[in-house]
Amino acid sequence: MTLQPTGPAMGLFLLSIILLAFSWITMGLRIWVRTSIRSMGLDDYMMVAGLISYTAACVSTIAGSLNGVGSPPEMITDYYDKQGRMWFMFFQLFYVLSTVPIKASICIALLRITNQKIYHYIIYAVIALSTIAAVVTDIAVLAWCKPVSATWDPSLGSCADASLITNVSYYISATSILTDWTTAILPAVILWDVQLHYRIKVPVMILLGFGFVASTATLVRLRYLLAYNATEAYLLNIAHIAIWSITESGLGLIAGSMATLRPLLKYIPWLGSISSSSGGATTKSGKSRQPGASSHRMQSLAHRSENATFHTVVQGGDNDCWERLSDNESQKHIMGVTSHPGDNMKGITVTTDVVLQESTSNDLSVAASKP
């Protein structure tokens, strides 16, 4: 027998279902994209771990909303008071646990777009701060009452002052705001010197917007943390904490997965060029950051003429080097700045000539020479 959710309880119930559904959909698409291009990476596995914890948190909030969390005091019996407190405690543990792998996954992805040590230090600091905050919070929740079951049934033991949980909640909220804003702003800082096409800029801006919305949810949650000290309508008041916490982690999961779905844009007519374009960019100083010439399959080129010759030059220098893997890979895609024509270039130049000739038997012969 459960309660009919009303007011904040209904909001918590519906929000948990909606965000959980979108999280699973975007994660499913992410895994499909990664496996189809054989590029599953550590960031993908971390996000899966975050989704598992987030699912447990949402199950707890759904069960809590059906057992008193968010319901008015007149609907709460002694049974529902205990059930509501128990499910809310489970939500606290799993929500906090989910924040670490979600944040770590986003940070690991950021590590792949920069090779500057200062940014790496910042990213590692974000992971460390998130981990420490999560460990401290979960320990506080579990140690608040002795035994733990006294958290929802005071007759079984004793609990410390409620201000302990309130203070710890302020601590993890402050840490979440700091790390959320860092992971939202850092990509813009890293790419500040790069002039991207607007079709690439728009998705990036949308993803950054998700990060800011997630941090805004944490800011809103701050005003409700004093509900931990409430002596009346406790379950009604703490529902707001759960609502904004679920929103924060859910948006983090969705945004983190959407950032990997670029290959799917080819199925959207007006965005199809984003997934297939080379994503050429230039710095504000005018230097090219184009990863290289467009690639073509030799077979398709061979049909253009009976005989074809292609000339490829690969050049490396002291400061002019770049490394490119597939745009769709989970691995890094880091490109340096190439020199302008006429600049002094030092290093090694490799030239490869490829000649395609059609023989009388219509077989294609390929000859390659290197000086």
Tell me if 286 is assigned to some domain.
no
121 and 198 assigned to the same domain: yes
> What is the reported pLDDT for 168?
93
Specify the residue for token string 């999280």: 23
112 and 231 assigned to the same domain: yes
Tell me if 95 is assigned to some domain.
yes
Tell me if 276 is assigned to some domain.
no
204 and 132 assigned to the same domain: yes
CA distance 45 to 82: 36
261 and 304 assigned to the same domain: no
Single pTM value for the model: 0.73
43 neighbors 330 (Cβ within 8 angstroms): yes
> What is the reported pLDDT for 339?
42
Q: pLDDT tens digit string along 39-65?
A: 899 999 999 999 999 999 999 999 999
Tokens of 153: 């049934």
Which domain does 312 fall in, by range?
Answer: 294-369
115 and 259 assigned to the same domain: yes
Tell me if 114 is assigned to some domain.
yes
> What is the reported pLDDT for 344?
47
198 and 50 assigned to the same domain: yes
Dihedral, 222, 223, 228, 232 alpha carbons, nearest 10: -170
89 and 233 assigned to the same domain: yes
Tell me if 186 is assigned to some domain.
yes
CA distance 60 to 56: 6
Residue type, 154: P
Tell me if 272 is assigned to some domain.
no
User: Which of 267, 282, 306 is at the close of a domain?
Assistant: 267
> What is the reported pLDDT for 334?
37
How many Cβ atoms from other residues are within 10 Å of residue 293's Cβ? Answer: 8
Below-70 pLDDT ranges, the chain: 193-210, 265, 267-371
User: Which of 248, 267, 286 is at the close of a domain?
Assistant: 267
How many Cβ atoms from other residues are within 10 Å of residue 90's Cβ? Answer: 18
354 and 241 assigned to the same domain: no
318 and 246 assigned to the same domain: no
Q: How far is CA 83 from CA 3, 45, 145, 225, 254, in A?
A: 11, 33, 16, 21, 30
User: Which of 219, 248, 267 is at the close of a domain?
Assistant: 267
Q: What CATH code is carried by the domain that includes residue 51?
A: 1.20.1070
Tell me if 2 is assigned to some domain.
no
Q: pLDDT tens digit string along 142-169?
A: 999 999 999 999 999 999 998 899 999 9
Nearest C-alpha neighbor of 91 from the set 241, 221, 222: 241
63 neighbors 3 (Cβ within 8 angstroms): no
> What is the reported pLDDT for 115?
85
How many Cβ atoms from other residues are within 10 Å of residue 199's Cβ? Answer: 15
Tell me if 171 is assigned to some domain.
yes
250 and 299 assigned to the same domain: no
CA distance 103 to 28: 19
> What is the reported pLDDT for 335?
38
Domain count, the chain: 2
> What is the reported pLDDT for 112?
82
138 and 41 assigned to the same domain: yes
248 and 298 assigned to the same domain: no
φ/ψ of residue 146, rounded to 5: -125, 120
